Amino acid sequence: MAQDDVFKKLVSHCKEYGYVFQSSEIYDGLSAVYDYGQTGVELKNNIKKYWWDSMVLLHENVVGIDSAIFMHPTIWKASGHVDAFNDPLIDNRDSKKRYRADVLIEEHLARYDEKTDKEVQKAAKRFGDRFDEAMFRETSPRILENRRKRDEIHTRFTRALNENNLEELRQIIIDCEIVCPVSGTRNWTEVRQFNLMFSTEMGSTADAAMKVYLRPETAQGIFVNFLNVQKTGRMKIPFGIAQIGKAFRNEIVARQFIFRMREFEQMEMQFFVAPGEELQWFEHWKQFRMKWHRALGFGAEKYRFHDHDKLAHYANAATDVEFEMPFGFREVEGIHSRTDFDLSQHEKYSGKKIHYFDPEQGKSYVPFVVETSIGVDRMFLSILAASYCEETLDGGETRVLLKLPPTLAPVKLAILPLVKKDGLAEKAREMMDNLKFSFACQYDEKDSIGKRYRRQDAIGTPFCATVDHRTLEDNTVTVRHRDSMEQERVSTDSLQRVIAEKTDMKNLLKQLAQHKA
Ligand code: GAP
């Protein structure tokens, strides 16, 4: 199946099974804003718990906070967001559509790569077994010419971005004859910078109202609480502060479902270290975070690092953890060594001293920071994309299932009476009433047992316990495993222990425990 089709199916599956809904759908929706449904919210909560427990529970020197979304507006001046949190934007005069100038150029560059790939595929067909792809890529005149043109544009593009040269960005669009995908014309406006922060007013009267922003990242709430946490928690460097919360960005090009949203959620941790030790901690957290991703069991090849060549002015190292989405490898997490930039800026703008006295070094300094920052929604999308499967069964029927890690699945156990009569429903209800204290269970008695299994497969429930006539005689149930569809007989007395063992968050956390900060 083409990856485009997989993605479309995933999006409709999310809606059909209560994972994700378009926000305000009955009013025709609100672009790039989504709601999580009854299964989605459980998966999301489990992802957040996995992250929180792995950062805060497992690390004695990492503590959590929950700071407010509204913050003093000067914070965003100090952080650089008021002046520099911008996207270059261009409008097409005919369609009145607005685009990110850099995205238009990136898409144009990607077309050169597609052209090259097509040439390679054609040649592979032509030459069959004798085909040497590496040699073809190095010698084919068409490919070489294609690459030359691409590299030329790419060089101009990166220079324009680095120099913040908006006129040159427009010129590249004109020179490359890039057309508006809607109107098909090249009638472009100038390129302008567009700030991504949402603002609103705080206060009751127009005169006294203060312009405040919806935070575009949760990290600043951590920086401005550094002293509060360090002092009240008697924290010694190195230590970290973790936070999960909403962030808001007025993204111009919002697409690919929940990949790029205007309201989203971040899980961020700032790790404060002594100056000079930041790169060693950067490496440490880089490895830990990759381990966290890989512990989910989707396969190491699904993840890769993308180290940044071009660093923000305040960073001395940065990498992304990328995941192979149906539309290619994309960033799900950023790990940055942010030097002492943020704390120094807040010291400057607030006029308050933000220093740490290091008893071991016998001096005080502004700590350096290593940040790990992951989007909950992107993580959610990556997990669903990796879990979504279609299988053709022996009879030709298609089974759609989500192979979610049992620990993260919204429902751990479905309890299904084979039929409603003969006391089976009552027995199943009794089990449900006992087991619901241990993990998320779902009771279902409607439709044939086959249909009920399919429904549970589709929401990713790892285990189904079927109560049948034998249950009334010997107190055993059939436990069906989602992925293999194998069935085994388990006594009702041990059911709680068997399912708890397989779905406990400890299973994931233990894989990370030996990695100490
Ligand atoms: N404090 C650093 C920071 O915010 P970022 O790379 O801009 O860094 C971190 O964002 C993570 O937040 C990204 O890796 C991504 O997972 C998520 N994220 C950023 N913008 C997003 C958006 N518009 N929609 C969904 N997730 C987003």
Please write the tens of the pLDDT for every residue from 198-229: 999 998 776 778 999 999 999 999 999 999 99
Indicate if ligand 1 lies below 6 Å from the C-beta of 331: yes
- Residue closest by Cα to atom 5 of ligand 1: 334
For residue 260, the ligand 1 atom closest to its alpha carbon is 24
> 153 with 113, same domain?
yes
Domain span at residue 288 reads 1-84+196-392
Q: What number does the ligand 1 atom closest to the CA of 254 have?
A: 23
Q: Are residues 207 and 310 in the same domain?
A: yes
Q: Which atom of ligand 1 is nearest to the CA of 376?
A: 16
CA atoms within 13 A on the CB side of 206: 0
Q: What is the pLDDT at residue 43?
A: 98
CA of 226 to the centre of ligand 1 (A): 22
Q: Ligand 1 centroid vs 374 CA: distance in angstroms?
A: 7
pLDDT of 6: 87
- Our answer on whether the CB atom of 374 is closer than 6 Å to any ligand 1 atom is yes
pLDDT at 1: 66
Ligand 1 within 6 A of CB of 215: no
334 CB near ligand 1 (under 6 Å): yes
> Of 193, 227, 252, at which residue does a domain stop?
193
Task: Say whether 411 sits in a helix, a strand or coil.
Answer: coil
Distance, CA 277 to ligand 1 centroid (Å)? 26
- Residue identified by tokens 């990136």 is 106
If asked whether residues 352 and 482 sit together in one domain, one would say no
Q: Is residue 137 part of a domain?
A: yes
> Would you say residue 512 lies in a domain?
no
Q: Are residues 255 and 347 in the same domain?
A: yes
271 shares a domain with 356:
yes
Do both 161 and 183 map to the same domain?
Answer: yes
For the chain, the average pLDDT equals 94
pLDDT band at 448 (very low <50, low <70, confident <90, very high): very high
Q: What is the pLDDT of residue 253?
A: 75
Task: Say if ligand 1 is within 6 A of residue 249 CB.
Answer: yes
In this prediction the pTM is: 0.90
**Does residue 256 surpass a pLDDT of 60?**
yes
Contacts of 302 (CB under 8 A, 6+ apart): 323, 324, 386
DSSP string, 199-259: EEEESSSTTT-EEEEB-S-SHHHHHTTHHHHHHHTT--SSEEEEEEEEEE---SS--TGGG
Contact 145, 119 (CB under 8 A): no
Residue carrying the six token digits 């990796």: 386
Shared-domain flag, residues 355 and 431:
no
pLDDT tens figures, 321-340: 999 999 899 999 999 999 99
Give the domain-ending residue among 356, 376, 392: 392
Give the Cα separation of 400 and 483 in Å (integer).
Answer: 11
Domain boundary among 193, 210, 227: 193
One domain for residues 233 and 364: yes
Share of the chain above pLDDT 70, in %: 98
Determine the Cα–Cα distance for residues 510 and 500; give it in Å rounded to an integer.
15
Q: What is the pLDDT of residues 428-446, one digit of tens each?
A: 999 999 999 999 999 999 9
> What is the pLDDT at residue 2?
67
- Number of folded domains in the chain? 3
Distance from residue 332's CA to the centre of ligand 1 (Å): 8
What does the CA dihedral 98, 104, 106, 109 come to, rounded to 10 degrees? 170
172 and 106 in a common domain: yes
Quickly state the pLDDT bin for 516 (edges 50, 70, 90): low
Within a domain: 66: yes
pLDDT band at 279 (very low <50, low <70, confident <90, very high): very high
Q: How confident is the model over 155-198, as pLDDT tens digits?
A: 999 899 888 899 999 999 999 999 999 999 999 999 999 999 99
Which atom of ligand 1 is closest in space to residue 378's alpha carbon?
A: 16
Question: Peptide bond before 238: cis, by omega within 30 degrees of 0?
Answer: yes
- My answer on whether 324 and 205 are in the same domain is yes
Asked if the structure places residue 516 within a domain, the reply is: no
C-alpha span between 95 and 348 (Å, rounded): 46
Distance 261 CA to ligand 1 centre (A): 10
Which residue from 262, 264, 270, 305 has its CB within 8 A of the most atoms of ligand 1, so it is best to mutate? 264
**pLDDT tens per residue across span 466-486:** 999 999 999 999 999 999 999
- pLDDT, residue 203, reads 86
How many Cα atoms within 13 Å fall on the side-chain side of residue 459? 29
State the pLDDT at residue 478.
97
pLDDT band at 5 (very low <50, low <70, confident <90, very high): confident
* Ligand 1 midpoint to CA 9 (Å): 25
> Percent of the chain at pLDDT above 90?
86
Find the range with the poorest average confidence among 46-55, 137-146, 341-350.
137-146
Least confident of 41-45, 87-91, 313-317: 313-317
Classify residue 139: in a domain, yes or no: yes
Q: Are residues 468 and 379 in the same domain?
A: no
* Element (DSSP H or E) covering residue 511: helix 506-512
251 lines ligand 1 (CB under 6 A): yes
Is the CB of 264 within 6 Å of ligand 1? yes
Q: Based on the domain organization, do 301 and 208 belong to the same domain? A: yes
